[in-house]
Amino acid sequence: MLRTAPLRARRSPDRRSIAPDPAAPRIAVPGAVARATWGARWACACVLGLALAGCGPAGAKDYNQGIEHFRAAQYADAAAALERAIAENADFAEAHHSLGVCQIQLEQLDQAAASLDRARALFDAGTVTDTEDKKTVAQKLALVHRHLGLIEEHRYQRQMLSDGDAAIAHLKLAKAQYEKTRSLDPDEPHAKQRIEQIEAFLARLDR
């Protein structure tokens, strides 16, 4: 995946970067246009591993089709199937979450954020598709915030060469999302790592 190394201190802040999240689906940023297929496998393992049985909630059939398309790196088809699942069941929290991950892969960051915000609201309200304990729901909600953090990191990457202040603002928003992840799921190791890396980078910039 793309590795954007920090530049020397004499450079202006808008040309500095921390290394992108190693777990993130690859997004086109300056100097990179290809998408890493392993990013899809990671996201699939984290979000799209849920295959619902035949007696599942309304929209389960299209949801399962979305999972299969995603696993085959057919992101547009996956998104279309998940949108059909949501059309049938507007309160399908997992479908909104999975759609958001597909939209990250499609570089549709604004749409992805909207889908993840909807998933977050549904999880907050306790709207889930099966009988789960509070810890499981909290872990799902934590993962939504983790993906919202990834979106902010991708926005940071897109702006780091054109608007340093705006880029840093997105990085701080990413850190806030990872902190929310940690508050919901203290055992989630990725968010802790990203918080530490972002804090160290901002400290070097004296931000």
> For position 117, which CATH number holds?
1.25.40.10
Q: Which of 17-26, 83-92, 131-140, 185-194 has the lowest mean pLDDT?
A: 17-26
Does residue 2 fall inside a structural domain? no
Does residue 172 fall inside a structural domain? yes
Give yes or no: residues 110 and 49 share one domain.
yes
Please identify, among 131, 165, 196, the residue that sits at the C-terminal boundary of a domain: 131
Give yes or no: residues 178 and 123 share one domain.
no
Closest CA to 178 of 151, 202, 159, 156: 151
Q: What is the pLDDT of residues 162-197, one digit of tens each?
A: 999 999 999 999 999 999 999 999 988 889 999 999
Q: What is the pLDDT of residues 14-61, one digit of tens each?
A: 333 333 333 433 333 222 222 333 333 334 444 544 555 445 678 889
Segments in 72-188 forming alpha helices (H): 75-88, 93-105, 109-124, 134-159, 164-184
Does residue 66 fall inside a structural domain? yes
Taking the C-alpha atoms of residue 102 and residue 163, their distance in angstroms, rounded to an integer, is 27
Give yes or no: residues 187 and 147 share one domain.
yes
Please identify, among 131, 152, 174, the residue that sits at the C-terminal boundary of a domain: 131
Range of the domain at 155: 133-207
Taking the C-alpha atoms of residue 200 and residue 177, their distance in angstroms, rounded to an integer, is 17
Closest CA to 62 of 34, 99, 112: 99
Taking the C-alpha atoms of residue 109 and residue 88, their distance in angstroms, rounded to an integer, is 24
pTM of the model: 0.73
List C-alpha distances in Å: 168 to 73, 182, 198: 31, 21, 10
Does residue 108 fall inside a structural domain? yes
Does residue 37 fall inside a structural domain? yes
Taking the C-alpha atoms of residue 27 and residue 149, their distance in angstroms, rounded to an integer, is 14
Q: How many domains does the chain have?
A: 2
